[in-house]
Amino acid sequence: MEQIPDGARIVHTDYDTVYLRDHEPEAPDMRRLYENAKRDQWNVSVDIDWKQPVDMEEGFVADGLIDIHGTKFWDKMNKKEKGEMNRLFSAWRLSQLFHGEHGAVLVCGQLANVLPTADAKYFMATQVMDEARHTEFFQRYLGERVGKVYEQASAGKELFDYILSDPRWYIKTIGLQLVGETFAVALFKMLSETAKDELLRYGCKMILRDEARHMGFGMLSLPEQVKEMDAQERQEMEEFTIYFLRNTLTGGFPKEAYLDMGFNKAEIKEIRELRKEKAQSADFAMFRSLFKKEMHTTLVNNLHKCGVLSETMKASLEQDLRVNVSEVLAAD
Ligand SMILES: [Fe+2]
Ligand SMILES: [Fe+2]
C-alpha cells in the first residue's frame, strides 16, 4: 500500500455493498430530489469571484461571534490585533466546517454502496459531488483568503469516525443528514447573513441550496426504517442521536486560535468562563437567536418527521440540551 499522507487518519470499516440488478424507479419523491440535484449543480471555480478583495484588518466572520468580543481581552486590542484575532477565530471555525465537509464526502461515498435502492443510490451519488464541492470551497477559502487551516476538533472526529465505521446505512444517515447537517445548516445560515466578507456570505448561500436537498434525503429515507425498528434498535438509535447532538452543540472551543493569538493558559481558562456569560449577553443575542432558533426548529421538526422524537427523546432534548420541543411543535 502507498504511504498514507501526513496528517491523514485511517478509519477501519466493514460493510456490505449492495450491487443492484433492477433499477426501475420505485420512489418518485427520491427521484425528484435526484432530478433537482442534477439541475442545481454549480461550480466553485466559476460561480465564485475569487478575485474579490478582502480587508484583512476587518476579518471574515462577524466580530460578535468571537468569544472574547465585548470583554476586557477584546477592548485591550488595537485594530490590527482585532483583525488578526478575527482571522484566527474564523480559521478555526471554518476549518471545522472544512473537515466536516470532507467527512461528508466519505460517508456519502459509503452510502452509495450500502443503500439498498437505485433511487437512493443515484441521489447519494449527487451528494458525494455536492460535498466535494463544499470541501473545495472551504479548502480554497482557507488557503487563499484566511491563510490558515486548523486540525479537526475531537467532537467532529468522534462523530465521523463513528458513522464511517458503523455498517448500517440508517446510522450513517442519522449521524450525517440529521445531526451533522442540521447543525451545519444553522451555522451556514448565520454566516450567510452576518459574515463580514461578502464572498463568505455568498459561498454559504450557495452551499445552503445543496444542504436543503441533503436534509431532504434524510426525511425521505428514514421514516420507514425507523418505523420498523425493534425496541433495542430504537433505544440504541436514541442514545446515539442524543450523544452526538450533545457533542455537536456543546463542543467546539477554539483553544488553538487563542494560543496562536498569544494568550496563556490562565487567560484561556478565563475566556472559557467568560464564554458562558457572553452567551447570556445582549451583544451575543442576535447570533444566539439566529442560530438557536434555526437549529432548534429544524432539529425538532426533522426528528419529528423521521419518527425519532419519542417521549424519551423529548425529555432528553428538553432537560439535557435545553431545546424547547413543545414550543417548536406547537408552532409547526
Ligand atoms: Fe456539505
Ligand atoms: Fe451536506
Ligand nearest to the CA of 37: 2
Closest ligand to 137 CA?
A: 1
Least distant ligand from the CA of 211? 2
The alpha carbon of 207 and the centre of ligand 1 are apart by a number of angstroms equal to 7
Predicted confidence band of residue 328 (pLDDT cuts 50, 70, 90): confident
Q: What is the rounded average pLDDT of the residues 165-191?
A: 92
pLDDT digits (tens, 9 = 90+) for 67-114: 898 889 999 999 999 999 999 999 999 999 999 999 999 999 999 999
**CA pair distance 304, 298, nearest whole angstrom:** 10
Among the bound ligands, name the one nearest to the CA of residue 177: 2
Q: Average pLDDT for residues 38-46, to the nearest whole number?
A: 98
Q: Is the pLDDT of residue 326 over 90?
A: no
Cell of 312: 424519551
Task: Write out the residues surrounding ion ligand 1, Cβ under 5 A.
Answer: 101, 131, 134
| pLDDT value at residue 197 | 97
Contact 15, 110 (CB under 8 A): yes
CA of 108, nearest ligand number:
2
**How far apart are the two ends of the chain, measured CA to CA in Å?**
53
Q: Tell me, in angstroms, the distance from the centre of ligand 2 to residue 129's CA.
A: 10
- Residues 6+ positions from 21 with CB-CB distance below 8 Å: none
66-75, 130-139, 246-255, range with the lowest pLDDT: 246-255
| Domains along the chain with CATH numbers | 28-331 (1.10.620.20)
pLDDT per residue as tens digits for the range 273-289:
888 776 666 556 667 77
Q: How far apart are CA 273 and CA 255, in angstroms?
A: 13
Residue 273 Cα, ligand 1 centroid: separation in angstroms? Answer: 32
Kindly identify the ligand whose nearest atom is closest to the C-alpha of 136.
1
Measured between alpha carbons, how far is 13 from 164 in angstroms, rounded to an integer?
7
pLDDT surpasses 70 at 206? yes
In this prediction, residue 274 carries a pLDDT of: 83
Ligand 2 centroid distance, CA of 213 (Å): 8
Q: What is the mean pLDDT of residues 222-231?
A: 92
Identify which ligand lies nearest to the alpha carbon of 97.
1
Q: How confident is the model at residue 207 (pLDDT cuts 50, 70, 90)?
A: very high
- A 10 A CB-CB count for 80 gives 10
